[in-house]
Structure 1
Amino acid sequence: MITFYKILVILHIFSAIIGMGPGFILTTVVKSGKTMTELRHSYAIRHRLHIYVMIGGTMLLVTGLLMGVLNPSLFRMGWYDLSLVLFLAALAIGPVMLTPRSKPIKEMLASHQGEEIPEEYWRLSRELFKYEYIENFIFIIIITLMITKPF
């Protein structure tokens, strides 16, 4: 018989696939744009993928915390606590680091005339992508902790 806890574990795993999977390619999607039209299209695709990241990420947090409530010993496991702290830190990166760096890019995409990608875009995108890579690295650490449960 399948228990509610096992259902949460299954939902947690699918949430990771739905939320984290697309998150790892958000940067790659927009790097393919070579003209402003392509870049705008790439950012539109990125926006659609980001919806999955948000839904999956929310489900990850909810199912992970519910598993902790059902099995309170998880809160005494270092891998669980560290994963939770890292996940919350990664969530904070969005509004604190990514949003301020993506706003000028969005404004540029909306207002720039012509097909030539402005040099300013490359500077802004490098800064944005740096923080996205940091966030992806945090998620890799979390996934590793969840799989290995080292402490």
Structure 2
Amino acid sequence: MSFYEVLVFIHIFSAILGMGPGFMMILVVSKSSNLTELRHSYAIRNRLHIFTMIGGTLLLISGLLMGAIHTNLFQQGWYVTSLVLFLVALAFGPLLLSPRSKPIKKLLKEARGEDIPVGYGALAKKLFFVERMENIIFLVIIALMILKPF
């Protein structure tokens, strides 16, 4: 097995490790029926996020190393487009996701009782919209990696 083939293996494994849990993050919190369940769901979600960060980092590193080994990849439209889309999705974290998740964290921390706070639904809707957009970007990237259309 060549070094490049090892990188391909790491890249595919990282996609499963990083993107798989990322696609489930909305589902984990969307079925909570009370505040205790919702808090627990967000705790699970935070643990899943660790896998997405590790997998995403390995994806970027292995993808760039494969490009460094086979520099012609940087002339392939699917590769460059995938890389740009990945960087856009990466920017979602600090620019779009964090500002939408901080009010939810604060609301859940300050809430009392077992009822889900009234304002949670609107905040979650905004967060989940951005997450769905990010998931669509990742699905496009996966399609580009498989099909290599241009």
TM-score (norm 2): 0.99
For residues 145 and 56 of structure 1, what CA distance do their matches in structure 2 show?
18
Q: For residues 6-25 of structure 1, what are the structure 2 equivalents within 5 Å?
A: 6-25=5-24
Q: State percent identity of aligned pairs.
A: 60
Q: For residues 86-125 of structure 1, what are the structure 2 equivalents within 5 Å?
A: 86-125=85-124
Note the C-alpha offset of 1:32.
1.4
Q: Show structure 1 runs of 5+ residues with no match.
A: none
Letter in 2 for 1:24: F
Note the C-alpha offset of 1:72.
0.1
Name the counterpart of 1:31. Answer: 30
TM-score (norm 1): 0.99
Q: For residues 1-151 of structure 1, what are the structure 2 equivalents within 5 Å?
A: 2-151=1-150
Give 3-state SS (helix, strand or coil) of 1:24's partner.
Answer: helix
For residues 120 and 86 of structure 1, what CA distance do their matches in structure 2 show?
32
How large is the Cα RMSD of the aligned pairs? 0.4
For residues 135 and 22 of structure 2, what CA distance do their matches in structure 1 show?
8
For residues 45 and 101 of structure 1, what CA distance do their matches in structure 2 show?
18
Q: Show structure 2 runs of 5+ residues with no match.
A: none
Letter in 1 for 2:13: F
Please list every run of at least 4 consecutive aligned residues from structure 1 whose deviation after the TM superposition is greater than 4 angstroms.
none
Tell me how many residue pairs correspond in the alignment: 150
Letter in 2 for 1:146: M
Letter in 2 for 1:100: P
